Amino acid sequence: MAATESSRTMLDVAAHAADSKGAEDLIALDVSQPLPLVDIFLLATGRNERNVAAIADEVEAKLLEAGHKRLRREGRAESRWILLDFGDLVVHVFHEQERVYYGLERLWKDCPLVPIDLPTPAE
């Protein structure tokens, strides 16, 4: 089963919110095949703890504003790896070191990428 249109819409909201706060290396993985309760993982990197927290806060605010219900949030106190669970979409906002250490891309390498449509930065 592939990610639903609803989860792709949530991904679009979350990715734009993360990008607006300077998130780097955004990757979306379609995990609907191995995980029947989740469609997409969005992975994003922040440069430091403040940036990680700002990215997660903005993603959460924009998804709530769009009418999506947050089921769970973890890691906000340390802001090294914040997990936002919105059911069909789970957002992982990492500090650079945690992203490399945990390597979720390696763990889920068999899952297809979901394209993220973000505006190209002005030069």
How does the average pLDDT of the chain come out, rounded?
93
Q: What is the 3-state secondary structure (H, E, C) of the chain?
A: CCCCHHHHHHHHHHHHHHHHCCCEEEEEEECCCCCCCCCEEEEEEECCHHHHHHHHHHHHHHHHHCCCCCCEEECCCCCCEEEEECCCEEEEEEEHHHHHHHCHHHHCCCCCECCCCCCCCCC
Does 122 score more than 50 pLDDT?
no
Residues 52-101: tens digit of each pLDDT: 999 999 999 999 999 999 999 999 899 999 999 999 999 999 999 999 99
What percentage of the chain has pLDDT greater than the value 90?
85
Residues 31-50: tens digit of each pLDDT: 999 988 899 999 999 999 99
Domains belonging to the chain, first-starting first, are 5-107 (3.30.460.10)
The confidence score (pLDDT) of residue 1 equals 62
